[in-house]
Structure 1
Amino acid sequence: MNRRAVLLGTSAAALAVFGGGAWYLRQQQEAEAQAAAAAAMTQNPEALIRPYSPILGPAQAPVTLVEFFDPSCEACRAFHPVIEDLLQQYPTQLRVVLRYTPFHEGSDEAVRILEAARRQEKFEPVLDALFEKQPEWAIHGAPDLDRAWRIAGAVGLDLEKAQSDRLHPDTTAILNQDMADMQTMGVRATPTFFLDGKPLTNLSAEALRDAVSSAVAGIS
């Protein structure tokens, strides 16, 4: 066996060990995340889903995907079309429960816009618009929240009424509770997904589609 063959064999073995180690680490992280989520829900069963949480899709759907999201989060914006596609693909089987996680500067104001829109039954069009136009208003370090309000107004939000609802005590309570639940559930980044109560640790569009597909197949 020549020296080149030995080196190639050694490299292949090293890659195999590395790959096996990475797989083990992912499995360990998933197990730890699931154990932490299970412990959190045992101590506080309502921490994952609150009665007030916005729901996309049928409220009584058998498969539940919970998303902790930030309206200013670029990754949340990237996943939004995936969520919409899944809701279209599984119109009766899937519901998506949204939890506010305003990590970015100005995101709490965006939540107030969304909650004002919900009172006017404009939640989904305003959510879609804020994500679509996110680069125009969610400027890191200098969010243009007046622009965010105008974007909401452009899709039908009554801005005068919405501004009067801006500091509604129910909205403040929702923000405070969602932030507390975020900590309880160990959410440290957005988006974070829980499918039927279990955290999804492999964050990719393909992994999300596969997980939801498997969950729907499991109820058939």
Structure 2
Amino acid sequence: MKKLTKHLIVAAVLLAGFAAALGSYLLLRPDDGSGSGGPDVRPAARAMPVRESSHRLTDPADSELTLVEFLDFECEACGAYFPVVERLREEYGDRVTFVARYFPMPGHRNGELAARTAEAAARQGKFEEMYTKLFTTQKEWGESQEWKEGVFRGYAEGLGLDMKKFDADLADPETAGRVQEDQRDGLGLEVQGTPTFFLDGRKIPNPGSYEQFKALIDERLPG
């Protein structure tokens, strides 16, 4: 996999900072009735970085460390970190558990829909495949004011999903509720923007390069 260029990492860090400032306002403010606000999501009373139900991209039998990412599929900074996380997965897949948690920002037209799309795919055992598809195609649908359900249905068809079940799951309130469960944990853990990473339960500053990320993991791995 190609190494992420330096300028892209810098852009990711800057975008993450902007998302943190703007995202906390968007997520926590009350809906003004205009339809621009998100669902009324409250922080979890006992927030946890990872739960048994959380989606694991890798789940080694003898995991020595857990890396959790609260993400928004439409977030450009998350898209920039995606190849970094994939490269880390390649290197540490047999030692580190990688967990993806939903934290869609209401300021993104299709962020919550993308999260429900991934969750609907998860109900057919295709979470990782949809996770990858959404990030690798982000430039094709992200930052759009148009509703992209048709695009996402095309991705589901391409993955060979049962479309009748996919459509039902996408519309199921329990699917939206599952996304909100992750958001509640994130808010309870003071996640204010995306991506936000937790390494063995502790929130870490977003690393500025793959090498910095690797160093943070290496210093926490035993031996």
TM tier relative to shorter chain: 0.7 to 0.9
- 2:220 alignment partner AA: A
Q: 1:115 to 1:202 in 2, by over 3 A?
A: closer
- 1:52 alignment partner AA: S
Question: For each residue in 1:181-217, what CA deviation from the matched residue of structure 2 results, as whole angstroms up to 9, or x when unmatched?
Answer: 121111111100010111111432332222122222x
Higher RCO structure (Cα 8 Å, ≥6 apart): 2
Q: Tell me, which stretches of 5 or more residues in structure 1 are unaligned?
A: 1-39
- 2:84 alignment partner AA: V
- 1:58 alignment partner AA: D
- 2:50 alignment partner AA: I
Name which of 83, 87, 90 aligns with 2:85.
83
Whole-Å Cα distance in 1 between the matches of residues 206 and 112 of structure 2?
Answer: 27
Name which of 208, 211, 217 aligns with 2:216.
211
* 1:62/1:94 contact within 8 Å kept: yes
| Superposition TM-score, scaled by structure 1 size | 0.73
- 1:47 alignment partner AA: M
Q: Secondary structure at the match of 2:117?
A: helix
Identity of aligned residues (%): 33
- 2:209 alignment partner AA: A
* 1:65/1:95 contact within 8 Å kept: yes
Structure number with bigger Rg: 1
Bigger shift: residues 116-125 or 155-164: 155-164
Task: Give the deviation of 1:106 after TM superposition.
Answer: 1.7
Task: Give the deviation of 1:66 after TM superposition.
Answer: 0.7
Question: For each residue in 1:70-112, what CA deviation from the matched residue of structure 2 results, as whole angstroms up to 9, or x when unmatched?
Answer: 0111111111111111111112211111110010222111111
| Superposition TM-score, scaled by structure 2 size | 0.72
Q: Secondary structure at the match of 1:88?
A: helix
Whole-Å Cα distance in 2 between the matches of residues 74 and 157 of structure 1?
Answer: 27
Bigger shift: residues 169-178 or 107-116: 169-178
Q: How many residue pairs get matched?
A: 177
Task: Give the deviation of 1:143 after TM superposition.
Answer: 4.6
Task: Give the deviation of 1:156 after TM superposition.
Answer: 2.5
For residues 7-22 of structure 1, what are the structure 2 equivalents within 5 Å? none
Bigger share in helix:
1
* 1:67/1:194 contact within 8 Å kept: yes
* 1:122/1:156 contact within 8 Å kept: no
Q: Tell me, which stretches of 5 or more residues in structure 2 are unaligned?
A: 1-42
CA root-mean-square deviation: 2.1
1:199 partnered with 2:203: yes
Whole-Å Cα distance in 2 between the matches of residues 59 and 186 of structure 1?
Answer: 28
* 2:65/2:95 contact within 8 Å kept: yes
* 1:129/1:152 contact within 8 Å kept: no
1:123 corresponds in structure 2 to: 127
Name which of 188, 191, 194 aligns with 1:184.
188
2:157 corresponds in structure 1 to: 153
